[in-house]
Chains A and B, each alone.
Chain A
């Protein structure tokens, strides 16, 4: 049932494309890479991005329980002191995040406080776009920061699955000029199923061979098919090697990521997305549960990496498009806000609490003022973990923070 793209098929395919001069760039480079027995990549580090969609309430994740202003602003929502896992006398993690606390105590977790950007946008979509494209608030970029990382640094041996989003959507962060990055839910279902007559895998591939046409959508579809054929065989092989079956969404998708890393898939960035954080009403129980799932998902992921011996190669970064209003609303929920903490997880991180705690009294329209630009965190991850120049990817220099290494 599996479509194995052998080296020979690869070469013949690419030769044909080259002859007519319209081979997709990554395919040509993929094959050239194979021919010269691909030089080892600059490093073998992996970044896992976890997106918490909807606007995660940072103040109830990393609670300023030592500040009376917190309890005044949130009479029903504030975490009581016995529901906080203290990091110091002022701040503590939500009591549901005991699994993450264990990793924190083991020196695996960096918490970065007050992350945001100037002139924060309170629209989910625009703010998510800003985070994914790493733009200024008034700047519109059609590429994503991870896509630009691929465009800038990938050499000839790169495959479309250099970026893998485990989930139904390919994130805007992957958008780039060269079309790297794929998305899928379950590795075992990722592939075209040939039939037993003339509907062979070879014919499927031939039928969808990329040939430029004036119909650019058709072009786009054919390139996506090529990406799918190339990547799906290797994804299934990696998941087979890892002895992995199935796959879930949200924090569950981290199990799939751990398996693909164990199976040796040539992927530099994994992307996982969990939703439900838009807690405008009756936030408490809901949000505690969400955080509990995130914490246990992250902890299980990290434990698996440690067990598999892959933990040295992986850093996980958790973000949300914004935090929430300091003052709770009448529905025992919170409205869209601005700055919030980010989490970095892994053996490579400088564990502890980073950045300046945002003030609960000096607010901007009821929202926290950010103290760290999220692009500083991206720049640090790019420079210190993925070991590339960040300025060409992020458009300019951002402060490098002592988060890694």
Chain B
């Protein structure tokens, strides 16, 4: 099937703005240096650099704050010798440690998003976290949460069917949707339902009977300390009828049948388009990508490459029209301000306040995204965050919750971050040029003239022609202008 929406853009349309758009969406917004690098390549080479991320990948260690399965096994043996009261106390301590480990894991992930040489890998991991959502509210093992998260990272752009099966066999998912406790005597339908409604073919393509029958097929899928385990003794070996076919199906058979349904490709490609392109993507775009997805037996890279090269991706209807997700927002904020050692924990906490608590999606549907991130409250939090963020980056110590400094005060404190690092990258000789330079640096959409005048005023200039050089901008004024700029509706978009 051919659709002009999927025609690749040509080299003449490729410029720093398109490179920036690509990094905004396929990554988390990145330093100017990376934008300039990608802009200097051909579109195909730039997209390849992101999609073929393995070439730049660097090894990383499993975080040392997790409770690993072997440690857990030892602890269990140890607890078995205690009396009931001691065991209760110890278990409580362990639960507390595990909660703290998940908090550390949030900051660990934010740091990876911000510092990875492979932004698309982490962006896709975030996509899968929202798609195959599990919550640490219920999955209380820090290791299980990490293991699923790392599966999303390792198989970020691999084969979707393989990923879906691996997720179905992950301890986190088996626990979260209760399949580990589903038995032939009384099958639990939770996993079977969400597998179809949310993870593969989508609503309208299956019946309540399909849920009941596939729940029987998945009985016996469980886990122990070593990971996935098929428990024959609880599996229902009887005959099932699923999607019009009859046989003694098990979980693997159900996956095979689901991936024969054309609806799965469209469901996933539609979701990718909403995540990467815009809230209401053209049906033609979704169908074209779904075609590729089916043709390649659910390989993700061909779909992503085609998407990131398509005219639809760089269309004005797409550029600068997406509300930044909280994770994209806080990671981008650090990059935009040029903060070298950002306060990772504050950033992780901020994503929570903004409605995206990592490892704790609100439910199995994940986050709705885009406009759903925004209400009067979260918008005000976004507008207040940069000042708090800048003051913390400047102080590099833990602030008390009540003594948040305003951005204009932050400069008075000597510390790690000052706006000088930002000014080094900007070129201007007048106040007007300064305002435009700031606007271009921070925003994906242009301001109106009257908005620019407000920035000029904050910069302390009477008019746009007033001479102003980077080394002569009073910090107080610059920070006031930044405070306003980062409190604009425009800054929420990418």
User: Do A and B interact with each other, yes or no?
Assistant: yes
In the A-B complex, the 3 residue pairs with the closest CB atoms: A198-B458, A330-B186, A197-B480
Chain A binder among B36-44, B107-115, B147-155, B375-383 = B375-383
A139 at the interface (CB under 8 A from B): no
Contacts A122-B208, A333-B178; is A193 near B477 (CB within 8 Å)?
no
Q: 1/0 per residue B202-222: CB within 8 Å of A?
A: 010000100000000000000
Question: In the complex, what's the smallest C-beta–C-beta distance from A262 to chain B, in angstroms?
Answer: 21
A-B contact pairs, 14 of them (CB 8 A): A124-B364, A193-B384, A195-B407, A197-B477, A208-B487, A217-B371, A218-B490, A227-B376, A232-B376, A275-B362, A281-B188, A330-B186, A330-B188, A365-B208
Which B residues are in CB contact (< 8 Å) with A216? 321
Contact of B377 with A199 in the complex, beta carbons under 8 Å = no
Residue of A nearest to B477 (CB): A197
Question: In the complex, what's the smallest C-beta–C-beta distance from B94 to chain A, in angstroms?
Answer: 19
Contact of B376 with A199 in the complex, beta carbons under 8 Å = no
**Number of B residues contacting the other chain (C-beta, 8 Å)?**
66
Contact of A195 with B489 in the complex, beta carbons under 8 Å = no
Docked CA distance A216–B376 (Å)? 17
Docked CA distance A196–B183 (Å)? 64
Contact of B375 with A224 in the complex, beta carbons under 8 Å = yes
**Number of A residues contacting the other chain (C-beta, 8 Å)?**
57
Docked CA distance A110–B207 (Å)? 36
Q: 1/0 per residue A204-220: CB within 8 Å of B?
A: 10111001000111101
Residue of A nearest to B198 (CB): A125
Contact of A169 with B355 in the complex, beta carbons under 8 Å = yes
Which B457-482 residues have a C-beta within 8 angstroms of A? 457-460, 476-477, 479-481
Q: 1/0 per residue B293-311: CB within 8 Å of A?
A: 0000000000000000000
Question: In the complex, what's the smallest C-beta–C-beta distance from B424 to chain A, in angstroms?
Answer: 22
Which A residues are in CB contact (< 8 Å) with B189? 335-336
B193 at the interface (CB under 8 A from A): yes
List residues of chain B with CB under 8 Å of any chain A CB. 177-178, 181-183, 185-190, 193, 197, 203, 208, 279, 320-323, 355, 362-365, 370-372, 374-381, 383-384, 387, 404, 406-409, 445, 448, 450-451, 454, 457-460, 476-477, 479-481, 483-484, 487-490, 492-493
Q: Which of A204, A227, A275 contacts B383 (CB 8 A)?
A: A204
Contacts A184-B376, A217-B493, A365-B208; is A280 near B479 (CB within 8 Å)?
no
Which B residues are in CB contact (< 8 Å) with A196? 406, 408-409
Q: Which of A123, A193, A198, A228 contacts B193 (CB 8 A)?
A: A123
Docked CA distance A168–B326 (Å)? 13
Docked CA distance A199–B208 (Å)? 57
A284 at the interface (CB under 8 A from B): no
Which A residues are in CB contact (< 8 Å) with B365? 124-125
Which B residues are in CB contact (< 8 Å) with A160? 376
Which A residues are in CB contact (< 8 Å) with B409? 195-196
Docked CA distance A225–B183 (Å)? 51
A404 at the interface (CB under 8 A from B): no
Docked CA distance A170–B377 (Å)? 9
Q: 1/0 per residue A254-298: CB within 8 Å of B?
A: 000000000000000000000100101100000000000000000
Contact of A281 with B374 in the complex, beta carbons under 8 Å = no
